[in-house]
């Protein structure tokens, strides 16, 4: 249960990583010998080559990488012996597909079946493992396959079987395959088996001779110079009428690690030597060699370089603050390219044009893209290069100004002008004036009344 929990967590983190991968594309194949080519750096997610990476296509036997990783993660004892059910073999009758000649009732360990699956690309081994992990039901296992790839964030992948034979609703994309294979590469046993060139399966209860298995991935075969690549560590091939020639592989050299997918490649005599070549292998070797010759990790930005500035309010000392990269940034770029050869382009929508003091050195004020030859190779936060203190007088003035400009203040001002001010005018001008007038008024009386008062 604990193992499964960490697998789920890793899957979500892995999917998140791929969402935020770098965007650079450096290599464009000069031929149309493959319909789909997709290469990424396993070190930082940089896209090296992208031709139709989101186009749905048949994965053929590259499907088996999912069958393998689910078997490894769901089997606690790889030495457990599996007795081959008849229907797992009969399902392949008439398909003319690749098998290891496994017999009904034969007893093989899970580990041996995994070698048959990944090294020899045996469809019978795929069915047997699917039945075993699926609890006696291949369809149940296929459901697990589809749930697994969804968890990795593969939105354009759907499987109908565990081996990869063509079906209308059995498809994937190179981008999705890269997510799946990158996940598989975290498992050391998977890497060991997928990187095995030759192996042997001892005689069994039904098959009385040793099986000698050679990897279908000729990138691992030193005997074929046109295909062999010293950089390639493992991989999985695939070939059907619909899929064409396919291979997914990983390579490592001098601290640089890459993953490459080639799908629907041609099979023809491209060099006119009288022998047809598998162009999936030819192109893979060519692209790996180009990458190791031309790409290097270089520093492309550092905090000592001013990128731009933001206007500062409420400061007596400064009216702007300089923007610099938050940290030193390294990216995968062609050899010889460094900070002097890249353009740092500020994201206007994510960068403040004006900021209020106080500002502290290192405050994040924006974001920028680091570009080489028009391609984004990295992104970086932009921060304040120095402190900017706030002026108390300007701060108080700003508060007053903001208060005056508020809607509430304006409403109160209108009420004062329309209602309260007239009342005060009446109270302090009109009423006192009337009182003074009454006090100073001359009283008009009748003369006879005066005489009568005197006589009394």
101: left (phi over 0), alpha (psi -120 to 50) or beta: left
Residues 19-55 pLDDT 10s: 434 456 788 888 899 999 999 999 989 999 999 999 9
Distance (Å, rounded) from C-alpha 121 to C-alpha 194?
Answer: 10
pLDDT at 181: 98
Structure pTM?
Answer: 0.80
Q: Is the pLDDT of residue 435 over 80?
A: no
Residues 61-120 pLDDT 10s: 999 999 999 999 999 999 999 999 999 999 999 999 999 999 999 999 999 999 999 999
Residues 209-259 pLDDT 10s: 999 999 999 999 999 999 999 999 999 999 999 999 999 999 999 999 999
Residue with tokens 């209308």: 168
Paired tokens of 443: 């009283």
Determine the Cα angle at 358 with ends 357 and 362, to 5°: 110
Q: b/e map of 365-403 (b: 16 or more CB within 10 Å)?
A: bbbbbbbbeebbbbbbbbbbbeebebbeeebeeeeeeee
First to last CA, the chain: 125
């Amino acid at each position: 249960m604990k193992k499964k929990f960490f697998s789920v967590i890793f899957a979500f983190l892995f999917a998140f990583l791929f969402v935020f991968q770098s965007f650079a594309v450096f290599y464009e194949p000069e031929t149309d010998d493959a319909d789909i080519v997709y290469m990424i750096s396993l070190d930082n997610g940089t896209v090296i080559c992208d031709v139709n990476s989101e186009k749905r296509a048949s994965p053929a036997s590259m499907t088996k990488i999912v069958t393998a990783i689910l078997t490894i993660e769901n089997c606690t004892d790889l030495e457990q012996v599996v007795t081959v059910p008849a229907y797992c073999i009969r399902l392949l009758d008439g398909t003319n597909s690749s098998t290891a000649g496994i017999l009904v009732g034969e007893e093989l360990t899970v580990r041996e079946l995994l070698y048959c699956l990944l090294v020899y690309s045996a469809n019978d081994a795929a069915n047997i493992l699917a039945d075993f992990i699926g609890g006696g039901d291949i369809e149940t296992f296929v459901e697990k396959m589809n749930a697994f790839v969804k968890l990795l964030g593969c939105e354009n992948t759907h499987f109908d079987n565990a081996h990869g034979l063509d079906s209308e609703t059995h498809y994937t994309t190179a981008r999705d395959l890269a997510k799946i294979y990158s996940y598989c590469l975290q498992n050391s046993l998977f890497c060991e088996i997928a990187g095995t060139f030759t192996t042997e399966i001892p005689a069994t209860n039904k098959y009385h001779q040793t099986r000698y298995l050679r990897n279908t991935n000729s990138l691992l075969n030193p005997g074929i110079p046109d295909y062999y690549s010293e950089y390639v560590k493992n991989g999985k091939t695939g070939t059907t009428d619909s899929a064409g020639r396919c291979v997914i592989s990983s390579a490592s050299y001098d601290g640089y690690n890459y993953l490459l997918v080639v799908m629907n490649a041609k099979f023809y005599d491209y060099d006119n030597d009288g022998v047809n070549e598998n162009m999936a292998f030819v192109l893979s070797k060519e692209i790996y060699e180009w990458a190791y010759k031309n790409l290097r990790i270089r520093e492309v930005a550092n905090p000592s370089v001013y990128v731009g500035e933001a206007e500062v309010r409420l400061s007596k000392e400064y009216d702007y603050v300089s923007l610099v990269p938050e940290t030193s940034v390294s990216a995968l770029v062609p050899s010889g390219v460094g900070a002097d050869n890249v353009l740092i382009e500020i994201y206007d929508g994510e960068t403040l044009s004006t900021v209020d003091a106080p500002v502290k050195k290192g405050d994040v004020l924006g974001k920028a893209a680091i570009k080489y030859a028009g391609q984004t190779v990295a992104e970086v936060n932009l921060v304040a290069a120095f402190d900017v203190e706030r002026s108390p007088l300007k701060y108080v003035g700003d508060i007053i100004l903001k208060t005056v400009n508020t809607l509430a203040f304006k409403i109160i001002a209108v009420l004062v002008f329309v209602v309260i001010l007239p009342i005060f005018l009446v109270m302090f001008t009109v009423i006192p004036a009337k009182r003074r007038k009454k006090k100073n008024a001359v009283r008009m009386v009748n003369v006879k009344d005066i005489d009568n008062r005197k006589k009394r």
